[in-house]
Amino acid sequence: MSGATTSPPAEQLTLRLKKRFRGDSEFVLDVELAVAAGFTIWFGASGAGKTTLLDCIAGLRTPDEGTIAIGEAVLFDSQSRVNLPPRCRSVAYLLQSLALFPHMTVEQNVQYGLAALNQRDRDARSGEVLESFRISSLLQRRPNEISAGERQRVALARALVTRPRVLLLDEPLTALDAVTKARILDDLRAWNQRHRIPILYVTHDREEVFALGESAIVLEGGRILARGSPHEVLHRPQSETVAQLAGFENIFAGSVTGSHPEYGTMTCRIAGSTLDLEVPLVRVNAALPLCVGIRAGDILLASSKPQGLSARNVLDGTITSLEQRDMKVIAVVTCGPEFEVHLTLGARESLQLKPGARVWLVVKTYSCHVLQ
Amino acid sequence: MIIQALTLTLRLAIMVSAILLVIGVPLAYWLAFSRRRWKFLVEAVVSLPIVLPPTVLGFYVLVAVGPLSPVGRWYQALTGHTLAFTFEGLVIGSVLYSLPFAVQPMATSFAAVDRKLLDASALLGASGWRTFWRIVLPLGLPGVLTGAVLSFAHTLGEFGVVLMIGGNIPGATQTVSILIYDQVQALDYATANRTALILLVLCFTMLAILYGLRRRGVWNVWEWK
């Protein structure tokens, strides 16, 4: 908890830590990085070690070795045996369940972390934050009397009123609708414009990565797999793991069978088939296995053989299954290898698609992502 | 006679549940949150009075407070008399006998408090002490009240331990249950009937209030998802 300054100099969170899991010797969390002020997104499938990492930073769990520091202040250092308890770390941590105190009003919740101040300062400090997050009208309500979005705001206000030096968010907004989520994030951004602290935001939702990120980190199997802008990390993934995380429903192993530098393309044969795809020309290491990733939403489906197209890949196939999920139809088409294709309900109706029907798949060269 | 036994019984029950509040709450807290490996031994000891015949418990307490034990001798040196066959002795025996009835509901309700709330409290800078008073105790209050009422009711109906430790001295150690036994021994069924009825009505009223409050949700005001 810092003093009364409203814009303290931005401090970096630096960490280098290892944590092994008892009973599961395979999984080791092994991470090293520095996080500057602003949003950083931790992206990864469940079980990638995201929550464990946040727990270690907050002091709820102890790493096996390493150091954690905010600016000059050391929170944890295995060598000099420093391990501050959570209450002394100035780290605000928004748990996934929010953990609002159910028996207290919104006001009591928000003021809980201000026990060291006198009542007047407490009111002033909480009043300011309550206003920032637009919940001043809820003061006397209990957590079960307000909406999910409001609870989210209260939890944020309660965490930030203590003027933490780092904010950790563990998938806090996953349950909210897009509009509510966007409004809350706007308010959080505005707050951070004034306070400039590192905000670590954990999520497994790739839409959120694009919506939030100035910087994204992909965590997999306890290690950092990629780091950069959300676009760099998720739109041009270089590894198959990231590709899966980034939502390539179709990933095929393959090999380069031809190269056409004059067109900027190359031909790639999908392993175990005679199917050739035209893909963008990229530098590949011939010694390593190669994959082609295609998003199911990037594939066009035609009920008769299309002609006069710019797209270079037109594949002849048969629908093997059609399944409706929410407002989306998921078609599996076999062209030798199986492709997953996403369609709208309208497309299914107007093309009168049924399992067994003959169809053509159209894939643009630039919808094929070469991964290695 | 009845009035005297009744006042003594109520006085005993109130003292016992007050003492159990004081020692039961920290003990329950420890049982709910400690990670000691030998915790199960303490749990077993606390629960012993549920399965032990009251006579066994009473016998050991009688020996422990009697002039042959160090505690008994120390107390005798201090006050000039032993604890056996006194009201104080009764209180000690009754506290031990009712211990599980107080501690178990308290420990259960403390353990049921969402650990995430405790983490959240620590992350907001609260000490363990503050977390206990502001989070664990208020949220576990239904269990604390249940423990206090159950130990009160249990002491009202206790017989074996009281008889072993206190004997049957009117005004000093003669509780209602012992008075009834006395009256039946004297073949005075009419009086025994009246005394028994008083105890029955008293216990029933208490339990009815307890469960009634529970049903109306008064004790679960903080239950929340």
**What is the DSSP-derived secondary structure letter of residue B133?**
I
Residue B6 near residue B14 (C-beta atoms within 8 A): no
* Inter-chain CB proximity A103 and B221 less than 8 Å: yes
User: Chain B partners of A1 at a C-beta cutoff of 8 Å?
Assistant: 125
* Inter-chain CB proximity A116 and B125 less than 8 Å: yes
A46-67 tens-digit pLDDT: 777 888 889 999 999 999 999 9
Q: How confident is the model at residue A371 (pLDDT cuts 50, 70, 90)?
A: confident
Whether the pLDDT of residue A21 is over 80: the answer is no
Q: Name the average pLDDT for chain A.
A: 85
Q: How many angstroms away from the CA of B126 is the closest CA of chain A?
A: 6
Least confident of A202-216, A290-304, B6-20, B60-74: A202-216
* Inter-chain CB proximity A58 and B123 less than 8 Å: yes
Given this chain, do its domains A13-237 and A248-371 carry the same CATH topology? no
Q: What is the per-residue pLDDT for A236?
A: 59
* Inter-chain CB proximity B225 and A144 less than 8 Å: yes
* B-chain residue closest to A93, CA distance: B123
CATH level 2 (architecture), domain A13-237: 3-Layer(aba) Sandwich (3.40)
Q: What is the per-residue pLDDT for A326?
A: 74
Q: What is the per-residue pLDDT for A243?
A: 66
* Number of other residues whose CB lies within 10 A of the CB of residue A157: 25
Those residues whose C-beta lies under 8 Å from the C-beta of residue A274, and which sit 6 or more positions away, are A336
Per cent of chain B over pLDDT 70 is 96
Domain ranges of chain B: 2-34+43-220
More confident residue, A271 or A129: A129
The amino acid present at B180, given as its one-letter code, is I
* ipTM metric: 0.78
CATH annotation of A248-371: 2.40.50.100
Whether the pLDDT of residue A165 is over 60: the answer is yes
**Among the listed residues B10, B12, B28, B15, the one whose alpha carbon sits nearest the alpha carbon of residue B162:** B12
Q: Which residue among A1, A99, A144 places its CB closest to the CB of B116?
A: A99
What average pLDDT does the segment B206-223 reach? 66
Q: Name the average pLDDT for chain B.
A: 87
Q: What is the per-residue pLDDT for A345?
A: 87
User: Chain B partners of A145 at a C-beta cutoff of 8 Å?
Assistant: none
Those residues whose C-beta lies under 8 Å from the C-beta of residue B64, and which sit 6 or more positions away, are B71, B72
B26-66 tens-digit pLDDT: 999 999 999 899 999 999 999 999 899 988 988 988 888 88
* B-chain residue closest to A110, CA distance: B124
- Where do runs of H (alpha helix) occur along chain B? 2-33, 39-51, 54-65, 70-79, 87-111, 115-123, 128-131, 137-156, 160-166, 176-185, 189-215
Per cent of chain A over pLDDT 90 is 33
Whether the pLDDT of residue A309 is over 70: the answer is yes
In the CATH hierarchy, which top-level class contains the domain B2-34+43-220?
A: mainly alpha
Q: What is the per-residue pLDDT for A240?
A: 62
Render A204-267 in DSSP notation, one character per residue.
S-HHHHHHH-SEEEEEETTEEEEEE-HIIIIIS--SHHHHHHTT-SEEEEEEEEEEETTTTEEE
Residue A158 touches chain B, beta carbons under 8 Å: yes
Residue B120 touches chain A, beta carbons under 8 Å: yes
Residue A369 bridge partners (DSSP): A293
Whether the pLDDT of residue A112 is over 90: the answer is yes
Q: Which residue among B123, B126, B139 places its CB closest to the CB of A103?
A: B139
* Inter-chain CB proximity A113 and B138 less than 8 Å: no
Per cent of chain A over pLDDT 70 is 90
A32-49 tens-digit pLDDT: 988 888 888 888 777 778
Per cent of chain B over pLDDT 90 is 47
Chain position carrying tokens 């196939």? A317
User: Chain A partners of B121 at a C-beta cutoff of 8 Å?
Assistant: 101, 112
Domain ranges of chain A: 13-237, 248-371
